Amino acid sequence: MNIQTVGVLTSGGDAPGINPSIRAVVRTALYHGMNVIGVQEGFDGLIRGEMSPLRARDVGGILQRGGTFLRTARCPEFKTKKGQRQAVRELNESRIDALVVIGGDGSMRGAKVLVEQGVLVVGIPASIDNDIWGTDMSLGVDTALNTLMEAVDKLRDTASSHQRAFLVVTMGRDCGYLALITGVICGAEIIIIPEKEIPLEAIAPEIEAAYARGKTHAIIVMAEGASHSPDEIQRALHEADVGFETRVTILGHIVRGGSPSAFDRLLATRMGVAAVDALIEGKTGVMTGLRGREIVLRDLDEVTSKQREPNLHYLEIGRMLSR
Ligand code: ADP
Ligand code: F6P
């Protein structure tokens, strides 16, 4: 397909790895003789026509930076017909022949809307939540897991010195992936995720049993999307007098920042190259995905209609190994 100008935008929550993916998109497209236009602040900037050409030097020095130098936004207006029509008009006026959309599952739904309006679009999955169907890992997940691991390791120092239980709450929206994997790699006594909730009354006996087994401290990792509140759990542990005093740490947006890990930089680079290659081959309405060690293309129809479920076997592994 003869594409002269490629646009690139980043949308939804930022994630480590987005910057190296922008760099890869821009430099791959330039290498193949295309022009590149960077759209500021996702679909919001697209609707407002906030865009400018990107040259090779413009994406220098961003490989190691977290966040997104194109900035990002959540844009309710793009969910309306009027906003979508305006976005397509801006693409036409700027003579953008094809668009790379980098973002989470919501952004992939936005990308699909543009495809339905006749725009050539390839998506790149980026979200610490790892809730996007069609890819083993989204950009940012590995870095977020490393941040979580470091945080829980540090909390463990205080937990073991003071014989405490720590309840650590991770981001992840409705998805328990980050909590699940963090729980396993940090040896948590209990992992609480929305996909398989534990009744509130079952938590204190588990921690009490850990104390009885001679544990000097306990770690509970909980996803923010789980239905119990941290306060409820802390109160239940206090009332049951489990042996440990409990402290709560809500890690919040710390988990979303930071320099992308080696894994994320490589994945971002491979996906950025693959997205431009896909457009050159005439593919549209697809998202780059990691399947095993391969980069594959997934249909946006499937990506936006299917649910990615975390592997609940990790719950059993976590339980077995934290005895
Ligand atoms: P993320 O991409 O990180 O999941 P959001 O869910 O907030 O973040 O989605 C980012 C943006 O994508 C939204 O602000 C909106 O502009 C666009 N978007 C999300 N869902 C849709 C939809 N169903 N139709 C059109 N645009 C959407
Ligand atoms: O989707 C990424 C994410 O960080 C979720 O884990 C979290 O629930 C949400 O975004 C927070 O959104 P905001 O930054 O708008 O508060």
Question: Same domain for 13 and 86?
Answer: yes
Q: Check whether residue 243 and residue 228 sit in a common domain.
A: yes
Which amino acids are annotated catalytic? 129
Domain co-membership, 24 together with 126 = yes
Q: Are residues 265 and 136 in the same domain?
A: yes
- We report the CATH number of the domain holding residue 123 as 3.40.50.450
On whether residue 109 sits in a domain, the answer given is yes
The DSSP bridge pattern shows strands 286-291 and 294-299 to be antiparallel
**CATH label of the domain that carries residue 213:** 3.40.50.460
Q: Domain containing 226: what range?
A: 144-256
Q: Which ligand is nearest to the CA of 224?
A: 2
Taking the CA of 144 as reference, the closest ligand is: 2
Looking at the structure, tell me whether residues 236 and 284 fall in a common domain: no
Atom of ligand 2 nearest to the CA of 256: 4
Say how many domains are in the chain: 2
Instruction: Indicate whether 132 and 163 sit together in one domain.
Output: no
Among 84, 109, 174, say which to mutate for ligand 1: greatest number of ligand atoms within 8 Å of CB. Answer: 109
Between the alpha carbon of residue 86 and those of residues 98, 149, 316, the distances in Å are 16, 43, 50
Shared domain check, 164 and 73: no
Written as tens digits, the pLDDT of the chain (323 aa) is 689 999 999 999 999 999 999 999 999 999 999 999 999 999 999 999 999 999 999 999 999 999 999 999 999 999 999 999 999 999 999 999 999 999 999 999 999 999 999 999 999 999 999 999 999 999 999 999 999 999 999 999 999 999 999 999 999 999 999 999 999 999 999 999 999 999 999 999 999 999 999 999 999 999 999 999 999 999 999 999 999 999 999 999 999 999 999 999 999 999 999 999 999 999 999 999 999 999 999 999 999 999 999 999 999 999 999 98
Quick one: pLDDT at residue 1? 67
Residue list, ligand 1 pocket, CB within 6 Å: 11-13, 43, 74-75, 78-79, 103-107, 109-110, 113, 127
Q: Of 70, 134, 82, 137, which is closest to residue 113 (Cα–Cα)?
A: 82
Q: Are residues 131 and 264 in the same domain?
A: yes
Residue 51 is assigned to a structural domain of this protein? yes
